[in-house]
């Protein structure tokens, strides 16, 4: 089955800095890579996703890049704000059932 | 329709008791998923329905766990003879035919004492 590794487990940045979270996956047939944000005590929410036929996707301050050859993908958040503080999960799937990484706790200091 | 609803939000039960959770997905979503999440971990897949058919179950889903989606709308997840290791957040999610991305519910936090 799919195995997703996510790093770092904790990321602390100053407000306004950029944050990068990296994930690797094992199944070369995986073709869908979503990212979810989970604030403390709340449900995971889909913030951005990318399919394997695209190398990069942006949505305002958030971008995701995918390197299929190396089987890794990354989440980039620019101009971080305190409200970006949350746990971020990457995931990978070849169909409807993604395998999730263990999460990165992002702390943005004002 | 305000999203995926789960009930109850919290459940405390004694070891050995049976518990049942309910999930109401977004009405136009035909796919429904159950996940389990423990502290410091990502969600782990348990089972998946397309309409009323249960199409996939994880090896994590022991024979004490059963899920149903009788009319292709709401779903229930039952855990029989609960064990302390069952303590976790149980998340339900749904998606439609066109999108792979999930909408998660707020979850049911189970504590087995």
Query: What span, in angstroms and rounded, lies between the C-alpha atoms of A58 and A81?
Result: 17
A/B interface, count of CB pairs below 8 Å: 51
Share of chain A above pLDDT 90, in %: 92
Query: What span, in angstroms and rounded, lies between the C-alpha atoms of B8 and B16?
Result: 19
| Strands B88-95 and B108-112, sheet pairing | antiparallel
For position A56, what pLDDT does the model report? 95
For position B38, what pLDDT does the model report? 94
Partnered with residue A25 across adjacent β-strands are: A4
Render pLDDT for B11-66 as a digit per residue (tens, 0 to 9): 999 999 999 999 999 998 999 999 999 998 999 999 999 999 999 999 878 899 99
For position B71, what pLDDT does the model report? 87
Residues 14 through 73 of chain A touching chain B, CB cutoff 8 Å: 32, 34, 36, 42-46, 49
Nearest CA in chain B to A41: B106
Ranges of H-type helices in chain A = none
Chain A within 8 Å of B100 (Cβ-Cβ)? yes
Tell me the CB-side half-sphere exposure of residue B102, using CA atoms within 13 A.
36
- Contact of A87 with A35, CB cutoff 8 Å: no
Q: Is B86 helix (H, G, I), strand (E, B) or coil?
A: helix
Render pLDDT for B52-108 as a digit per residue (tens, 0 to 9): 999 999 987 889 999 999 988 999 999 999 999 999 999 999 999 888 899 999 999
Nearest CA distance, B29 vs chain A (angstrom): 13
For position B98, what pLDDT does the model report? 83
* Residue B26 token pair: 């977004």
Render pLDDT for A20-71 as a digit per residue (tens, 0 to 9): 999 999 999 999 999 999 999 899 999 999 998 889 999 999 999 999 999 9
| Strands A56-59 and A72-77, sheet pairing | unpaired
Closest CA to B93 of A30, A38, A72, A88: A38
For position B97, what pLDDT does the model report? 82
- Is the confidence at residue A79, as pLDDT, over 80? yes
- Is the confidence at residue B1, as pLDDT, over 60? no
Closest CA to A33 of A50, A48, A55, A20: A50
* Count of C-beta atoms within a 10 Å radius of residue A67: 11
The pLDDT mean for chain A works out to 95
For position B74, what pLDDT does the model report? 96
For position B10, what pLDDT does the model report? 97
For position A54, what pLDDT does the model report? 85
Contact B41 A96 (CB under 8 A): no
Tell me the CB-side half-sphere exposure of residue B32, using CA atoms within 13 A.
30
With contacts defined as CB-CB under 8 Å, which chain B residues touch A4? Answer: 42
Burial string for A1-13 (b: 16+ CB within 10 Å, else e) reads ebebebeeeebeb
Chain A within 8 Å of B45 (Cβ-Cβ)? yes
Chain B within 8 Å of A104 (Cβ-Cβ)? no
Q: Is B17 helix (H, G, I), strand (E, B) or coil?
A: coil
Residues 58 through 97 of chain B touching chain A, CB cutoff 8 Å: 91, 95
Residue bearing tokens 């995971």: A44
Contact B44 A100 (CB under 8 A): yes
* Count of C-beta atoms within a 10 Å radius of residue A44: 29
Query: What span, in angstroms and rounded, lies between the C-alpha atoms of B43 and A91?
Result: 10
What pLDDT band is residue A95 in, cutting at 50, 70 and 90?
confident
Query: What span, in angstroms and rounded, lies between the C-alpha atoms of A89 and A78?
Result: 17
């Amino acid at each position: 089955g799919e195995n997703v590794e996510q790093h770092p487990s904790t990321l602390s940045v100053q407000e306004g800095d950029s944050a990068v979270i990296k994930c690797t996956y094992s199944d070369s047939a995986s073709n869908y890579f979503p990212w979810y944000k989970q604030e403390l005590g709340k449900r995971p929410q889909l913030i951005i996703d990318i399919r394997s036929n695209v190398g990069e996707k942006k949505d305002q301050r958030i971008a995701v890049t995918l390197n299929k050859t190396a089987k890794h993908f990354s989440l980039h958040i620019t101009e971080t704000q305190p409200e970006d503080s949350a746990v971020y999960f990457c995931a990978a799937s070849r169909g409807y059932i993604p395998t999730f990484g263990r999460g990165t706790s992002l702390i943005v200091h004002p | 329709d305000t999203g995926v609803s789960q009930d109850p939000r919290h459940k405390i039960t004694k070891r050995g008791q049976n518990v049942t959770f309910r999930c109401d997905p977004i009405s136009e979503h035909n796919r429904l998923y159950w996940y389990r999440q423990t502290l410091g971990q990502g969600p782990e897949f348990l089972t998946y329905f397309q309409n009323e058919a249960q199409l996939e179950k994880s090896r994590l889903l022991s024979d004490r766990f059963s899920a149903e989606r009788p009319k292709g709308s709401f779903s229930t997840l039952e855990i029989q003879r609960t064990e302390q290791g069952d303590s976790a957040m149980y998340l339900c999610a749904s998606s439609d035919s066109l999108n792979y991305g999930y909408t998660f519910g707020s979850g049911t936090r189970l504590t087995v004492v």
